[in-house]
């Protein structure tokens, strides 16, 4: 982007978005910093999307301290800075879905929903209201123009690549998005933060879901139920099916000669099925709510690398179109803990083909 532009940078108070803002300012662009307010203020008494007493914790990337970190970076860079209220859209698009999916016995990825409906939709619309044509974030990913369309590519740092979370971003949004740190490693980003004199240079990364402080159980009213084995025999009692996920081994409270793993969660019967590790492997899955980037849509089977969760390795598979826009994924090797609610994302080399929700 050689032409000087007006760019709004989504600033979380972390090192990545801070360096993104600094790089754009150094390149001569007109930069505006914004932070999305998605948490409940402590002194508010109105209905909230978060459990009382859980929001605004100082360790959260959505906390008051994170806003102050972002504000200090903006002051250091000499750029305008605003905090924008996104609580309503965040509640509807992310938290309500999070609760609904867990109540259905699924394990959702709220970061995917946030990117699709909040950062690269609602925020992008507000960006236009600020007179800017581009939005920038600190994601480790890249956007490349290709014959009139846009490709979403992996970040250069394979350990930090975040393209998995971005597969639902539309072509329109990609055309107006910049990822300034996508061509850098994390070590390089921290080095640049020191060069720019940013106090967040050594700030630790948030590893948890941004709006969850304490236990996921705080969002539900878990009820105890049966734990059954693969033959249907009751072998124990769970604390509430929302507190478990497929592939989980710890916290089951069972005494068995071999480690037990969660194989299935049945929300309707309030039962959890457990088995041996081998019982958790699967050869295929079905994906719904599809989004495509590399192709307009899938019309015939094709080979791809597939990730079934952010921290899982890519694996070889064939993806095949089904009716109603769904896709079947057939793996060359069985995969551990295929989890309904998580995203399956398809790759061709560094390019994101697309992805969708497992079991949707």
Residues 6+ apart with CB under 8 A from 128: none
Q: How confident is the model at residue 50 (pLDDT cuts 50, 70, 90)?
A: very low
Architecture of domain 6-195: 3-Layer(aba) Sandwich (3.40)
- CA torsion sign for 207, 208, 210, 214 is negative
Q: How confident is the model at residue 213 (pLDDT cuts 50, 70, 90)?
A: confident
- CA torsion sign for 101, 116, 121, 135 is positive
pLDDT in tens, 309-359: 999 999 999 999 999 999 999 999 999 999 999 999 999 999 999 999 999
CA angle at residue 161 from 158 to 162, to 5 degrees?
Answer: 165
The fold for domain 280-358 equals Elongation Factor Tu (Ef-tu); domain 3 (2.40.30)
pLDDT in tens, 114-173: 999 999 999 999 988 888 989 999 999 999 998 889 999 999 999 999 999 999 999 999
pLDDT in tens, 195-210: 999 999 998 887 667 7
SS (H, E, C) 203-238: CCCCCCCCCCCCCHHHHCCCCCEEEECCCCCEEEEE
Which CATH number does the domain 228-275 belong to among 2.30.30, 2.60.40, 1.10.287, 2.40.160? Answer: 2.30.30
pLDDT at 51 over 50: no
Q: How confident is the model at residue 53 (pLDDT cuts 50, 70, 90)?
A: very low
Residues 6+ apart with CB under 8 A from 204: none
Q: What are the catalytic residues?
A: 114, 210
Q: Is the pTM of this model over 0.75?
A: yes
Q: How many CB atoms lie within 10 A of CB 194?
A: 12
250: helix, coil or strand?
coil
Domain assignments of the chain as residue spans, ordered by start: 6-195, 228-275, 280-358
> Do 6-195 and 280-358 fold alike per CATH?
no
pLDDT at 111 over 50: yes
Residues 6+ apart with CB under 8 A from 165: 109, 111, 112, 115, 139, 310
């Amino acid at each position: 982007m050689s032409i000087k532009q007006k760019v709004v940078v989504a600033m979380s108070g972390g090192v990545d978005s801070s360096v993104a803002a600094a790089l754009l300012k150094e390149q001569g662009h007109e930069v505006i910093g914004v932070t999305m307010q998605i948490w409940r203020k402590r002194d508010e008494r109105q209905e909230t999307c978060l459990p009382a007493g859980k929001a605004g914790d100082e360790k959260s990337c959505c906390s008051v301290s994170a806003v102050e970190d972002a504000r200090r970076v903006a002051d250091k860079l000499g750029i305008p800075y605003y905090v924008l209220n996104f609580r309503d859209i965040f509640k509807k698009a992310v938290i309500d879905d999070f609760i609904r999916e867990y109540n259905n016995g699924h394990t959702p990825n709220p970061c995917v929903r946030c990117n699709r409906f909040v950062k690269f939709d609602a925020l992008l619309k507000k960006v236009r209201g600020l007179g800017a044509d581009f939005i920038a974030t600190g994601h480790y990913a890249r956007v490349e123009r290709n014959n009139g369309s846009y490709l979403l590519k992996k970040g250069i740092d394979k350990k930090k690549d975040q393209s998995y979370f971005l597969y639902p971003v539309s072509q329109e949004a990609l055309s107006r998005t910049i990822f300034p740190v996508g061509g850098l490693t994390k070590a390089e980003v921290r080095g640049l933060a020191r060069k720019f004199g940013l106090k967040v240079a050594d700030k630790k990364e948030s590893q948890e879901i941004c709006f969850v402080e304490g236990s996921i159980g705080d969002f539900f009213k878990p009820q105890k139920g049966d734990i059954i084995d693969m033959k249907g025999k009751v072998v124990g009692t769970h604390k509430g099916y929302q507190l478990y996920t497929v592939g989980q081994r710890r916290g089951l409270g069972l005494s068995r000669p071999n480690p037990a793993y969660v194989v299935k969660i049945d929300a309707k019967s309030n039962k959890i099925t457990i088995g041996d590790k081998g019982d958790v492997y699967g050869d295929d899955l079905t994906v719904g709510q599809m989004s495509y980037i590399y192709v307009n849509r899938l019309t015939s089977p094709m080979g791809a690398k597939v990730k079934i969760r952010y921290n899982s390795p890519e694996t070889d598979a064939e993806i095949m179109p089904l009716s109603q826009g769904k896709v079947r994924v057939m793996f060359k090797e069985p995969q551990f803990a295929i989890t309904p609610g998580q995203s399956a994302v398809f790759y061709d080399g560094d390019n994101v083909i697309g992805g969708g929700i497992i079991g949707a």
